[in-house]
Structure 1
Amino acid sequence: MSTTVVEREAYNVRQLVAASHENILTSKKLIIVFVSMSVALMISSIDLTGVTIAVPYMAKDLDAYSSISWVGTSSLISTTVFMVLFGRFSDIFSRKYTMIFAMVMLAFFDLACALAQTPTQLYVFRALCGMGNGGITTLSMVIVSDVVTLEQRGFYQGILGAFFGIGSAIGPFIASAYINHSSWRKFYFTLFPICLSSTLILIKYVPYTRPQHSMKEKLLNLDYLGFFTSSVAIIFLLIPISGGGSTFPWTSAFTISMIVIGGVFFLIFLLVEHRVSKLPLIPLRLFNESFSLTSILLHNFFFGICYYGIQYYYPYYFEVVRGYTPMETSCFLLAFVLPQTLTSICSGQLISRTKHYGFVIWIGYTLWMIAMGLLSLWGLNTKKGVTIIIMVINGLGSGFIFQPTLIAAQAHSLKRDRATVISTRNVLRTFGGSISLAISATILANTFAENLNATGSKYFSKTEIEVLKTMIYTKPDLSKYTSTQALYLKEIYMLGIKRIFYVWMACMAYCFITNMPIKDRGLQPIDEKK
């Protein structure tokens, strides 16, 4: 079959799939559906952010001091891999039932996390939770895009972002309360019934839409080869990145072979998406639509590195370096989350009223870049007021970026590609997060080990040094050490965190600079513009 025929068939499939889900609702029905999506996204956010507070305590409980970074990395890997697949499932089967499946999956594997008895079990269950979170994150946005026009989306996507922010604020507090009074496991026991209850709302109120295909046609349209090659590529690349230099040497046969295999499968994935799949997971043609769309999509990868890193390493700074309790750390995180929630709502209002998104995104990148630069002021004894001001600026900036960049991406793409653009944008953002956690874990572990090997003998015995190397991600009990030893440990923890901050600064500088040529063409898809 010629390339032209394949492309024509793929085009017809995309047109039919996209048209079958468009379902602009009346105001009353829209509010019900929108509230359902907002609650689902908030629950997903609670699950994602609650774990960031609990990491040191999970490590201690499961004796997983050297590998606990995988509690976050495993979740984001599976979110990345399955996010686009859920988008395709919803295209081929049904938005409604795919969303319900994602919610049920999150509920039961949250319960499994609560019952985990070994580090491996916890990482596997968090990975499966990541699958559910990937579906919820993508489909909540896709369903809202189905039921409102692009001109209305700024307003509604802004509120969706606000609910995500509310969940980000609630999650750490719930986890902190359980850690202080019981166990981190209770956090997951609590999420189980909440997820199931929310699923009942989806069953009752979300409209059912699907393409009129036979089951055979649906199954044939799935991009099996793309899913397999992308999964192998991501897993084989992230394992050596996250453990290189600490768990195993960079020059070892294992590290090199994993990177080579991952790289080869990534190239195969690109070939499959470009030449083979009728409904590719990530249509590479999106990157040929325009420079603006390509830049917007790539920005999501780079600010994903910053955002997901913040979710894990702001708490790490407060708990490990500053010695605050989980509840105190949760209070500090409000300085980031509440401004983010506020500007998410304001950005949606501004875009809906002005019919433009460019100036909103510019404000966001400017504030976020300033905040990343100011992180260089953080240290062992930084005043609380300075710390809070930097986090507020950071939160304000991120709120002006998350949903507005989605609106911008849809405005620079074809109407039929709205679900694909959302899932592609989300998968690039979470893939950036996966890379971020893997690289950050490597930076932190290598910095810690490097300094202990170089100067640790002045303060600790060889046996103590080896023990300390296995406790990088744990909140240390500094009362066991002398004041000099405790200060030394805090200094090398801080050095590792500072190096992570430099990565974030570079990523945000890239976003700021490459945002300059992007054109604001208003709130109509490119195929509806006159």
Structure 2
Amino acid sequence: MSEKELEKLPHNDDQVKKVPTILSEKTKDLEALENEETPELSKRQLFTIMLGIVLGVFVAGVDETILSTANEIITTDLNAQGSLTWIATSYLMTIVVFTPLYGKFSDIFGRKVCMLFSLFCFSVGSLGCGLAVNIVMLIVFRAIAGIGGGGMISVSFIIISDVVKLEDRATYLGLISLTFAISNMLGPILGGVIVDHISWRFIFYINLPVAGILALIVIFIMPLPWVKGSLMSKLKRIDVLGVLTLSVSIVLFVLSTTWGGKDYAWSSYQVLIPLILTFVALIAFGYIEARVAVEPILPPKMFNSNVVICCCLGLVLGLNHFTVVYYLPVYYQVLRGYTASESGYQLAPFLVSVSIVAMFSGFIGTKLQSFRIPIWIGTVLMVLGSGLLCLTSNTLPHWCMIFFPIVLAFGIGFGIQMVLIGAQASSQPEYIAILASFFNFTFNMGATVGLAIAGAIVNNLLADFPYLIGTGGHEGAEITQPIPIEGQLAYYGALRGIFYFLLGISAFGFIISTLLKHRSLSGAPSTPGH
């Protein structure tokens, strides 16, 4: 850090005295990292790393959806039918809160330590859920499991960014996306089998031996070095105020969007106060990162124009992806009369298309040495796909509601990995890990925002049909009687409202994507694999 930069720090004597100590400790750790750089990996070493990553992502992916077929039985067994939403919300909340933190933490403590910490939290959370004697215990330990599940995915992306060349990275990230999609689809099936033949508690117990095997792979087989330095020196580098203000803002935002339109009206103080406090906490976070933190968890210097655009595109992609994943099954269940499992099969082409195209986009990006072209193709296809979905009506042939989402899926697939590659190619090497975790965060936040807005659209357009509000979706509510024709037409209108919203967001994504500047994709791994 230069003298000019030091002069910008707060001129409290105690703080100024602490700065050289922290910087000297950081310098020692960085020197240790430079001496511990990962050598050129053999195919066998790369295979070993990918095997561990694929297993970890598979377990985390299954865990996200495995409860969808067991929620009713669990809440009945624990006598907590009114707490169904919080089982999912607690898991989602900790994933969203901790995802942006893993990037900086993995720089400070190392990839192995962060992955092992994730596996530990995932195991403790799973064990606690399996032993739960009441709904509060289940929700608390589900939140702990979310800390681990989110970390397993984030650190996996970071490790791939370490050991795979930039031009090849999208292909490997696409493999992870495919693994995640398959695991998401298998989750409900596996959950149903376990509930039917054993006990819902084994949904959580099966995570323990798998996590143990993964821990052994990480410790003894993955060829990644341990970060040297004392624990105290590493703890001093944590941006505590930044962590607190960012976490508070995320928790408040998730709570307000979870409550809004469901438990409370959007105009109620129960929703408005958390939203206002969210912006207050974000302003405080921005000030801390720019003026106070010695090692900010989200360094302001990281956000050049390309990175900002790519982060916005991450929001657009997450919003499109999760809104379709949530509301397409609603269409199949409510308007086509499919069961929950049948609607899951109808959704499979969308999920698989996203993942396969994500891998294919890597080949295109490598061949053309450009991340912009796949992103442009993706945003155009998102506009086309969401535009086609706006044609939804009771006279539209059923095959159209299979084909139209696939067009949108192709668009998401072209962009989902190349946006991260573009951000990393446009940034300094020291920010690669932070960007990997922050992109996952923007994707998840896009999901949170998208579902909140889509829910508001549905509730507003179905206000005259209260028996339709809350049907379908991940909470498992299903229509038990035929819906009158006027109710069906209203629901088609509500879905069109959602798809028009996606069309506008996709168009925004295309417009900002045209502002991306070219950066070369050729080069070795951007960071040492610490």
Shorter-normalised TM range: 0.7 to 0.9
1:162 aligns with 2:163: no
Q: Quick one: which amino acid aligns to residue 512 of structure 2?
A: T
Report what 1:237 is aligned to. 253
1:407-445 alpha-carbon deviations (Å, 9 max, x no partner)? 111110111211111122222221222223333444444
Q: Say which of 98, 101, 106 aligns to 1:85.
A: 101
- Per the alignment, do residues 173 and 379 of structure 1 end up closer, same or farther by CA in structure 2, a change over 3 Å counting? farther
Q: Deviations over 1:309-336 (max 9, x none)?
A: 2333333333344332233222212211
Aligned pairs for 1:133-282 within 5 A: 133-175=149-191, 177=193, 187-282=203-298
2:513 corresponds to: 515
In structure 1, how many angstroms separate the alpha carbons of the residues matched to 2:430 and 2:441?
A: 19
CA distance in 2, matches of 1:187, 1:503: 37
CA contact (8 A) 1:245 1:446 kept: no
- The change in CA–CA distance for 1:383 and 1:188 in structure 2 (over 3 A counts) is farther
Which residue type is aligned with residue 338 of structure 2?
Y
Which amino acid in 1 is paired with 2:503? M
Q: Percent identity?
A: 28
* 1:354 matches 2:371: no
Counterpart Cα distance in 2 of 1:363 and 1:234: 32
- Partner SS state of residue 223, structure 2: coil
The answer to whether the aligner puts 1:314 opposite 2:355 as a matched pair is: no
Give the Å deviation of 1:58.
Answer: 6.7
1:482-501 correspondence runs (5 A)? 483=482, 487=485, 490-501=488-499
Distance apart, 1:502 and its partner CA: 3.2
When residues 181 and 381 of structure 1 are mapped into structure 2, their CA distance, relative to the original with a 3 A threshold, is: farther
Structure 2 Cα separation of the partners of residues 108 and 395 of structure 1: 35
Letter of the 2:430 counterpart = R
In structure 2, relative to structure 1, the CA distance for the partners of 1:256 and 1:526 (3 Å cut) is farther
Distance 1:526 1:293, change over 3 A: farther
Residues 486 and 43 of structure 1: CA distance in aligned 2, closer, same or farther (over 3 Å): farther
User: Which amino acid is 2:252 matched to?
Assistant: F
Matched, 1:25 2:38: no
What residue is the counterpart of 2:16 in the other structure? Answer: none
Give the secondary-structure state (helix, strand or coil) at the position aligned to 1:278.
coil
Q: 1:471 to 1:411 in 2, by over 3 A?
A: closer
Structure-to-structure mapping, 1:109-128, within 5 angstroms = 109-114=125-130, 120-128=136-144
> Structure 1's 304 and 60: CA in aligned 2 closer, same or farther, altered over 3 A?
farther
CA 1:377 to 1:185, structure 2 compared with 1: closer, same or farther past 3 Å?
farther
Contact 1:242 1:437 in 2 (8 A): no
- Give yes or no for contact 1:154–1:347 (8 Å, CA) kept in 2: yes
Q: Determine if the alignment matches structure 1 residue 329 to structure 2 residue 376.
A: no
**How far apart are the structure 1 equivalents of 2:4 and 2:71?**
50
Choose which of 432, 451, 454 in structure 1 pairs with 2:464.
451
Partner SS for 1:135: helix
- CA gap of 1:471–1:407, structure 2 versus 1, over 3 A, is closer
1:459 matched to which residue of 2? none
User: Quick check: 134-143 or 468-477, which moved more?
Assistant: 468-477
Cα distance 1:247–1:341, how it changes in 2: closer, same or farther (>3 A)? closer
Determine if the alignment matches structure 1 residue 432 to structure 2 residue 446: yes
Q: 1:180 to 1:357 in 2, by over 3 A?
A: farther
Q: Secondary structure at the match of 1:285?
A: helix
Relative to 1, partners in 2 of residues 1:277 and 1:525: Cα closer, same or farther, differing over 3 Å? farther
Deviation at 1:377, TM superposition (A): 3.2
List per-residue Cα deviations over 1:155-181 (Å, max 9, x = no partner): 322323332233233334334555777
Which one-letter code corresponds to 2:164 in the other structure? V
Written as runs of structure 1 = structure 2, the 5 A alignment for 1:41-120 is 41-51=57-67, 68-114=84-130, 120=136
After superposition, the CA RMSD in angstroms is: 3.5
Question: Do the aligned residues in 1 keep the contact of 2:164 with 2:525 (CA within 8 Å)?
Answer: no
In 1: Cα distance, 2:510 partner to 2:143 partner: 32
Which residue does 1:460 correspond to in 2? none
Give the match for residue 397 of structure 1.
411
Code of the residue aligned with 1:297 in structure 2: it is C
1:341 counterpart residue number: 355
Kindly tell me the number of residue pairs found equivalent between the two proteins: 509
8 Å contact 2:118–2:147 — kept in the other structure? yes
TM-score of the superposed pair, with normalisation by structure 1: 0.84
Task: Give, as a single letter, the amino acid of the residue that structure 1 aligns with 2:157.
Answer: M
CA spacing shift, 1:490–1:257, aligned 2, 3 Å: same
Distance 1:397 1:213 in 2: 45
User: 5+ unaligned residues in a row in structure 1: which ranges?
Assistant: 457-464
Shift of 1:25: 1.9
Which has the higher mean CA deviation after the structures are superposed, 56-65 or 172-181?
Answer: 56-65
Once residues 299 and 289 of structure 2 are traced to their aligned partners in structure 1, the CA distance between those partners, rounded to angstroms, is 6
CA distance in 2 between counterparts of 1:154 and 1:3 reads 39
- Preserved CA contact (<8 Å) 1:237 1:258: yes
Partner of 2:12: none
- Separation (CA, whole Å) in 2 of partners of 1:66 and 1:320: 22
Q: Name the CA shift for 1:237/1:159 in 2 (closer, same or farther; >3 Å).
A: closer
Instruction: Pick the aligned partner of 2:51 from 35, 56, 63.
Output: 35
The answer for unaligned runs of 5 or more in structure 2 is: 10-18
What is residue 408 of structure 1 aligned with on the other side? 422
